[in-house]
Chains A and B, each alone.
Chain A
Amino acid sequence: MSENQIFTDFEVVGLIEEKQINFNEVLTGKNFYLINIWSSWCEPCKDESEYLLELKKNTPVMMIGINYKDNKKNALNFLKLYGNPFDQIFIDKQGTISINFGAYGVPETFLINEENEVLKKYIGPLNDEDVYEIKNISNN
């Protein structure tokens, strides 16, 4: 594992289908992946959702949501209310999956490439500049 690579060999459970899968299998077939740690109780996550929807619409990045210390009902309501920008969502009930990524809390976003190297790490909610940067990296 190189210095910039994230650890991906662990099991995750989907929020919607509740199916267990190794996270390595999730990271296949795309050049870029955006991992966003979010929660329905996280206020900045509400502001961030419009930026994530924009990235979903205008980039080829695979959007992966990690639902942090939340409950399913609230999480699904949040997605209904603010839109669902994610291709896949996994639950992190204990907050330990986020530790695997080297995260500090919510919201936090990682842009990684096909070699699982972290290209960019955004602590806190995304903003216009971050979206511009992600678009630039992923569309070139």
Chain B
Amino acid sequence: MKSKIFLTIKILIIFILISFNLKNIAMASTFSEEQTINITKNLRCLICQGQTIHESNSDFAESMKKYIKGELENGKTNDEIFSSLIEKYGQWIVYDPGISKNTLLLWTLPLLLFLIGGAIIANRIFKKDYEN
């Protein structure tokens, strides 16, 4: 009787350990899958028309997805992956170009135009007030 109870407990422990491990593996792969999707949504498929790597099923996009998965498995961060792909394919590969010396004007131009426009409007208002 005792040995049967022990056997049942042993089986239960093994079952719990296995299911816990499987859950962890599933969570890890989901996380990596989500991260891959986030990265590929910000990458342009360079041989397609207006598609992201995530949307495209082209040969190039499929290779790129596998490459990114591999890089994530090797412990690379999103930023490291983006910068290595920019090195290989140029800034054009990313949809969100980020701030760099090449894109500084792109990022600051709207703000500059807003400030200049604001200054012109303010100048006219104050000028009118002064004249009145």
Contact = CB atoms under 8 A, between A and B. Distances in A.
Given A104-B46, A104-B47, A99 B87 contact: no
B47 A99 contact: no
B87 A96 contact: no
Interface of A: 1, 3, 7, 69, 94-96, 98-102, 104-105
B66 A94 contact: yes
Contacts of A99: 63-64, 67, 88
A105 B47 contact: yes
* Residue among A7, A94, A96, A99 with max Cβ neighbours from chain B (10 Å): A99
Contact of B67 (A69, A96, A104): A96
B107 to A, nearest CB: 22
Contacts of A7: 84, 87-88
B60 A1 contact: no
Interface residues of B, number: 14
Contacts of A96: 63, 66-67, 70
Contacts of B64: 99
B59 interface: yes
Nearest to A123: B47
Interface string B44-81: 00110000000000011011101100100000000000
B88 A105 contact: no
Given A3-B87, A95-B60, A102-B89, 8 more contacts: A7-B87, A94-B63, A94-B70, A95-B62, A95-B66, A98-B63, A99-B88, A104-B47
